[in-house]
Structure 1
Amino acid sequence: MPTRVAVTAVILAALLAGCAQRDRLNPLDPKNGATGGRIAGFAALAGNRQVEIRWTRLPQPDVASYGLLRWRSGETPQYIGDPYGKTIAGTVDSAVTNDETYNYRLVAFFLSGDSAVSQTDTATPGSRKIVVLSAGLPGLVGLTPDARDILYVQPAAEAYEDMELDRVHTLLWLTMPDAGFILRTYFDGRPAGPTIDHPHPADVSVSDLRGVAWIAFPDDHLVRAFGPNPASVDTFRTISSLGEAHVVEAGTADPTVWVGNEAGTVRRFTADGILLNEWSLGARVIAIALDEAAEHAWTAVRTSSGDDLYLLDARDSTATKVPGRWSGIADLAVDAATRSVWVSERGTPRAGNGRLTRLSASGAAQAILTGIEPFGIMVDPVTGDCWASEIHTSRVVEVSPGGLIVRGSAPIDLPYAVRIVGGPGVP
């Protein structure tokens, strides 16, 4: 029979083992599995010439104050400003320079002399404004200039069909086909004009010449022009007898309107509605992007066996098929500075086998990014980078002309379109 001392030792060992593996309920305990002892709820949100700092106040009664550390790469962290009282839960750092990256960390000081710190957060202030369409929400998602954080989420009754940027008025045009609404909104989510009520609007394109929006109405076989006054709900131009037109693209330097329909016909009109050119591609038109300097239109069509890409030349009315095997083309975007075109291929839905390809003006591949599922895209005229909504990783990515991802956004539920304005060097 074991002695009493031996039994006591066994019990004590078991108790000690249990204590060593118990949950650490104190959030500031370094062995807490959830927090690692860090202050939770700390965030640095980039803005234009400022960074907004937020944190969650600690519930401990002996908190004395908070301090904020800031540094850039290669620098030693330094406290900025005076200590913040225990009831404060945020501040704004305005002593920053746009397009430079700053690191921040919060320190909590206790009356006992102890302290606790947050995780490090990073922010790059700038003038860029970013809005994303989310199908999972559905609605609008506004991002910080560096895309690291979500500024706001604005739900909608249904997923928007399309979104386009009006650079003249710095606002967005949005279409809601089921509700029959056309909306205009600023990048911060505020309404930019009254809602236009018209059944089943689809694709929208905005000419930067005056800020006129051309909108396709496939059920009515026509496109209508609205604007340029954001306060107006009236249309001033209608082009009809277009067939089931789902795609419209309006030029600026070349002030013409291109319309593609379900039957594969592409027509080019003057802004007054006079027909200039017509092409028959034999399959449903799914995307058009204009190379205005050459009076060309990159046009994607969907056939029974896959997708085809054409280069339409308005000067001689020719259509040249671009070599290559294309799968699930979702969008096209032209970089006006280089006259290159980006092709977004979704591939098999949710498989991550799509690609983003950059072609030269002659159709030669210059860069290819694979292993993604891109959908709506846009070329940043400031940097030449391509911004793509990337469904596979639930984010928006910025891709360099060489095909490298240089930035990824905060997670977004099913992003499918992105528009940006501003950026490096823009006030």
Structure 2
Amino acid sequence: MIIRHFSSLFIAVLVISVGCEKTDRDRFNPLDPLNTTTGGRPQGLQAVAGHERVLLSWADLAIDAVTSYRLRRQDNGGNETIVDLAERPLSATFIDSTVVNGQTYTYRLSVLIQESEGGVIQESPASVPVEVTPGPNICWIADEGLTQILTMTSDIRAVDRQITSIFGAKHLAVDPRNGAAWTTTQFGGADGAVAVRFSSKGVIDRTVTGFTFPASVVVDPRDGAIWIADIGATVGEESSVSRFNQNGGLLFKITGFSEPSGLAVNPNTGACWVADRGNNTLHLIGDDGTILLNINGPGQPTAVSVDPTTGDAWGINVATQQVFKIRSDGTISLSVSGFIQPVRLACSALDGSCWVVDAGGGQVIRLRASTPDGYHIGQQSDFHLSLTDFFVPVDVSIDQISGQVWIVDRGDGSVVKIAANGSIIRRFVGLALPVALTVDAGPR
């Protein structure tokens, strides 16, 4: 009995082993439902949002039996659209131009297979679904860790474009007329310190030379002229602020500054505010080079932003870690306390609110336009909103049409998109050391 027992067990094990060998053999065909890697599904489906369009791509299949690709698109309402792509040679990309901005779509890809001529056409299992929300705006980002300038799609789900070997870029500005972006860097190769313009397609099409330590750069939205602060005093040279035409031709250069660390252009007049930290002074310069105001008193101003509606300016006083507001006539109208280390700020054209990036506090603060003088964000709550889900936020930019706010967080390598009401829309994590950004509101 003992022998028969072992014999039966041996036979059972032998049968199971043979069955396993037959079932678990390697399945190299990616469309084989028993392929342990793919499950028979097409791989690599990606969707990149654009303005009223979605670019789709996937892993190409060099299999003769494939007759076409099938894309299934579902909108928020559950409506499904099917597109069969059978044109030869088969392409692994498709542009869907029948989408609507702001609508979220879900795409799935399958493959139609006909193993022999005249045979039955079968459909593979569908791919893993991908979601995308097309929209007009694009965010430009300077990633110092990757030495890249890159663009993020409107729905903040994907990196759309990467421009490599851009060293030391810490400031960005976009021309809203054509989507071109400017940056400054000390490391322009043989040209030394330069300002560089990228076309809306990400191609370097202009380089401006002659700087010592170029820093802040802003664009006049009326004509595309650019203002650039050169902190030459950092290396023992002369500091200056210059205005160039849209193609980088010098219009004028003003010297006598110490540390012009922040610039902001009034979009209605073209006048530029200059925060000169080294001289403890704010200057307002007309678009013809005329000095309109020299204001002493806001401590050590480092960053400044203009309210597009009123022309008032908000600034940061790094000496006291306060935020102040100054009228176009030079009168300081309010001061707000309670920040740890405010570094950047931006004003919204929709409601006049000011968004402040507090890197030291790991927070972003939205101050209402009606915030009173002497307000303290740590002791009062009636006139501000605190967003604390950050590590080391370092820059902010606002889409002045939608009111949406974009933040880069150096602490976790993320980009965050926030609705005008303060709710977080989405966070993209995966950058190395993002240090600056600017938003192109795009075509409407």
Q: Equivalent residue for 2:385?
A: 367
Q: Measure how far apart 1:169 and its partner are.
A: 4.8
Work out the CA distance in 1 between the residues paired with 2:159 and 2:133: 14
Calculate percent identity across the aligned residue pairs: 25
| Aligned counterpart for 1:299 among listed residues 315, 318, 321 | 315
State yes or no: 1:111 paired with 2:114: yes
Q: Measure how far apart 1:332 and its partner are.
A: 0.2
Aligned residue pairs total: 414
Q: Deviations 1:348-389 (Å, cap 9, x if unpaired)?
A: xxxxx6111110123363322112132211111111121112
Q: Measure how far apart 1:52 and its partner are.
A: 2.1
State yes or no: 1:342 paired with 2:355: yes
Q: Deviations 1:227-272 (Å, cap 9, x if unpaired)?
A: 3241x43x22222211122222232324433222343612223322
Work out the CA distance in 2 between the residues paired with 1:339 and 1:28: 56
State yes or no: 1:249 paired with 2:267: no
Q: Equivalent residue for 1:223?
A: 240
Q: Equivalent residue for 2:133?
A: 124
Q: Which residue identity does 2:184 align to in structure 1?
A: T
SS class of match (1:46): strand
State yes or no: 1:188 paired with 2:205: no
Contact map agreement 2:110 2:123 (CA 8 A) in 1? no
| Aligned counterpart for 2:223 among listed residues 210, 225, 232 | 210
Query: In structure 2, do the counterparts of structure 1 residues 114 and 380 end up closer, same or farther at CA, with 3 Å as the change threshold?
Result: closer
Q: Deviations 1:157-197 (Å, cap 9, x if unpaired)?
A: 41312111223454222100243011112222123434334
Q: Which residue identity does 1:371 align to in structure 2?
A: D
SS class of match (2:425): strand
Q: Which residue identity does 1:144 align to in structure 2?
A: T
SS class of match (1:382): coil
- Higher mean alpha-carbon deviation, 197-206 vs 72-81, is at 72-81
Work out the CA distance in 2 between the residues paired with 1:77 and 1:293: 43
Contact map agreement 1:248 1:260 (CA 8 A) in 2? yes
Gaps of 5+ in 2: 116-121, 372-381
Q: Equivalent residue for 1:4?
A: 7
Work out the CA distance in 2 between the residues paired with 1:81 and 1:11: 47
TM-score relative to the length of structure 1:
0.85
State yes or no: 1:311 paired with 2:322: no
Query: In structure 2, do the counterparts of structure 1 residues 166 and 268 end up closer, same or farther at CA, with 3 Å as the change threshold?
Result: same
| Aligned counterpart for 1:396 among listed residues 415, 419, 423 | 415
- Higher mean alpha-carbon deviation, 166-175 vs 102-111, is at 166-175
Contact map agreement 2:295 2:330 (CA 8 A) in 1? no
Q: Deviations 1:24-60 (Å, cap 9, x if unpaired)?
A: 7665566766545532111222233322221212244
Q: Which residue identity does 1:53 align to in structure 2?
A: L
State yes or no: 1:173 paired with 2:182: yes
| Aligned counterpart for 1:134 among listed residues 136, 143, 167 | 143
Work out the CA distance in 2 between the residues paired with 1:416 and 1:274: 31
State yes or no: 1:417 paired with 2:431: no
Work out the CA distance in 2 between the residues paired with 1:47 and 1:181: 31
Q: Deviations 1:272-331 (Å, cap 9, x if unpaired)?
A: 242523123444x3311123554532221334xx722222344353364313x2123231
State yes or no: 1:143 paired with 2:137: no
SS class of match (2:257): coil
SS class of match (1:278): strand
Q: Equivalent residue for 1:274?
A: 291
Q: Equivalent residue for 1:52?
A: 55
Q: Which residue identity does 1:191 align to in structure 2?
A: I
Query: In structure 2, do the counterparts of structure 1 residues 57 and 168 end up closer, same or farther at CA, with 3 Å as the change threshold?
Result: closer
Contact map agreement 1:161 1:177 (CA 8 A) in 2? no
Q: Which residue identity does 2:294 align to in structure 1?
A: N
Work out the CA distance in 1 between the residues paired with 2:281 and 2:87: 63
| Aligned counterpart for 2:165 among listed residues 156, 159, 163 | 156
Q: Measure how far apart 1:18 and its partner are.
A: 8.9
Q: Equivalent residue for 1:70?
A: 73
Q: Report the RMSD for the aligned CA atoms in angstroms.
A: 3.1
- Higher mean alpha-carbon deviation, 118-127 vs 410-419, is at 410-419
| Aligned counterpart for 1:40 among listed residues 40, 43, 57 | 43
Q: Deviations 1:73-122 (Å, cap 9, x if unpaired)?
A: 23343322453557421222223333333222111122253523211122
Work out the CA distance in 2 between the residues paired with 1:22 and 1:367: 60
Q: Measure how far apart 1:140 and its partner are.
A: 1.2
Query: In structure 2, do the counterparts of structure 1 residues 17 and 56 end up closer, same or farther at CA, with 3 Å as the change threshold?
Result: closer
Query: In structure 2, do the counterparts of structure 1 residues 273 and 104 end up closer, same or farther at CA, with 3 Å as the change threshold?
Result: same
Work out the CA distance in 2 between the residues paired with 1:256 and 1:125: 35
State yes or no: 1:237 paired with 2:256: no
Contact map agreement 1:266 1:278 (CA 8 A) in 2? yes
